[in-house]
Structure 1
Amino acid sequence: MKIGVGLPNQVREMDPSIIPAWASQAETAGFSSLGTVGRIAYPGLMDTVALAAAAGATSTIGLISNVMLTPVWPAELLAKEVAGIDAVSGNRLTLGIGLGSRPDDYVVDGRGPRGTGKRLDHDLEVYRSVWRGETADGASNPLVPTGTREVPLMFGGMAPASFERVARWGEGYIGPSVPAEMAAQAFDAARSSWKNAGREGSPRLVAIAYYVFSDAEQGRANVRNYYSSADEPVMDIVDSAICTGPDAIRSAVRAYSELGVDEIIFNPALADIDEVARLADIVL
């Protein structure tokens, strides 16, 4: 099982200048991927910006959004933005997609929080069209250079439609930030959807887990603040899955390895660059 580390782009009031150094250190340490967490109405760093900064600061490590709230974007603009990040990185980007559950993240006129699933299905068609070099309505030229690849897609979410999109559009599924025993059912659903659709092989399965070393209390507070719009029981579930220290991190690695996932990405609860080396010392 591969092990990646998240960028601290949605730690509240984080300093964006930490991103290039964080990415470089993660690559040097040997992590498989750098991940981002996506939200708009929050004082963090946009995941597209974080991924672009990480792409420029690294040369080999994978990049993945886990997950980006793509329905908040006009589809053509996001498709061009994502294609550019992927190209700058040398084709290292995987676009992890989710709908989100917070209405305040939908800040663009005409792209509100209703009908997001139907809109996403339309947008997926647009992404593929843009990446293939087809001309958008009203445009005199393709939006991307010749040779742009179709960026690999993965999906998060717990609704049946999420698993159907994995099988129809994606290469795999990204699990929720919950204890491994709770995520197991979602990974099984992704496998079943894949098989029922007649896809060959198996879907790529990526688990995510929050972690913190130096200040567990502050780390928990940061994660709970990020999920503060959720009901208290939901926050408690996410809180219970935060890995605080070496033993909890090793336990998460064992649990997800037993579930047969391909990769686990540990998302930081603190924007402290020393957390990268601390995690590497335990898992690599």
Structure 2
Amino acid sequence: MKIGLGLPIDDPALLLDWARRADAGPFHTLGLLDRLVYDNPEPLITLATLAGATSRIRLQTEVLIAPVHNTALLAKQAATLDRLSGGRFTLGIGVGGREDDCLAAGIDIRRRGRRLDEQMRLLDLTWRGEPYGEGVGPIGPAPTTPGGPEVLFGGFAPAAIERVGRFGHGFLGAALPPRFMDGMFRDVETVWERYERPGRPRLVAQVNVALGPDHIVEQARRVLLDYYDFTGRADHMAEGLLSTPESIRTAVADFTAIGADEVMLYCWSSDIAQLDRLADALFSLW
């Protein structure tokens, strides 16, 4: 089982230390969320910085709200990050749900799904080295990974699962316990087979964690409540925060049992000592 870390967003200045420590440890991936109208670091710029501070660990957006990004620029940024990281970049991608993000980006929130579908067509063209459009030549650089970086789709709607079969390499499921995520994973596999894709989709689960003294857990809960305030379900999300080694180990085991290839532990507190606590809880031989 691969274990990744979702990076905290409340103090970007600490993220280089987080990345270096994680790169030296047993973790497989560093993930970073995306929002426009919020006090979080821009993920592609941040992950490019972290790529230069690491040599082994993968770098992942989870998830990038693609519709609020300019498509041609996104294609270039993602390919550049794939090159800079030596092929270690995974583009976790989704439509988002915040109206203020869409207003700030100047897009219609009601058309964001259709916009993402068109973006995926253009990203694929660009990463294969083909002209971007009429009167527009190819946009480089070519990514290190043939055909472009790994793409995981996140979301809850059937359209998100459908996109895995049409465009992606796998699915990133967040905010659901294993007993509910099981059904989504099976739906992804069904769509994958319907599109006659070779092999199997990569299945990644995300769970919110905070491991440490009470004040660390409380700090994480405050950040999480603020981030999810727009959903009207912030209290429910905070209730799902795992804060003991036993509960985290159980969640990893349960996600493994339903076929997850990786579990991302999203850390809502910037306390870097969580890295050692999580490693001790999950990697007894490390």
TM-score of the alignment, normalized to the shorter chain, above 0.5: yes
SS where residue 115 of structure 1 aligns? helix
Counterpart in the other structure of 2:231: 230
Q: Which structure 1 residue ranges, 5 or more long, are not aligned?
A: none
Are the aligned partners of 1:19 and 1:53 in contact in 2 as well (CA < 8 Å)? no
**1:129 to partner: Cα distance:** 1.6
- 2:128 equivalent to 1:129: no
- 2:4 equivalent to 1:4: yes
Counterpart amino acid of residue 244 in structure 2: G
- 2:203 equivalent to 1:211: no
Can you list the C-alpha shifts for 1:193-240, whole angstroms capped at 9, x where unaligned? 112222232210000011102322221121111000012xx3243223
- 2:152 equivalent to 1:151: no
Counterpart amino acid of residue 113 in structure 1: I
RMSD over aligned Cα atoms: 1.7
Are the aligned partners of 1:31 and 1:61 in contact in 2 as well (CA < 8 Å)? yes
Select the residue among 79, 94, 97 that pairs with 1:98: 94
Are the aligned partners of 1:178 and 1:237 in contact in 2 as well (CA < 8 Å)? no
TM alignment of 1:1-284, pairs within 5 A? 1-8=1-8, 10=9, 14-108=10-104, 110-137=106-133, 142-146=138-142, 148=144, 149=146, 150-214=148-212, 215-231=216-232, 234-284=233-283
| Aligned residues between the structures | 278
- Residues 147 and 77 of structure 1: is their aligned pair in 2 closer, same or farther, counting only changes over 3 Å? closer
Q: Which structure 2 residue ranges, 5 or more long, are not aligned?
A: none
SS where residue 229 of structure 2 aligns? coil
Are the aligned partners of 2:32 and 2:43 in contact in 1 as well (CA < 8 Å)? yes
- Residues 21 and 160 of structure 1: is their aligned pair in 2 closer, same or farther, counting only changes over 3 Å? same
Q: TM-score, normalised by structure 1?
A: 0.92
Are the aligned partners of 1:56 and 1:88 in contact in 2 as well (CA < 8 Å)? yes
Distance 2:55 2:249 in 1: 28
Are the aligned partners of 1:179 and 1:237 in contact in 2 as well (CA < 8 Å)? no
Distance 1:228 1:32 in 2: 30
**1:107 to partner: Cα distance:** 4.5
- Residues 138 and 200 of structure 1: is their aligned pair in 2 closer, same or farther, counting only changes over 3 Å? closer
**1:21 to partner: Cα distance:** 1.3
Counterpart amino acid of residue 268 in structure 2: A
SS where residue 94 of structure 1 aligns? strand
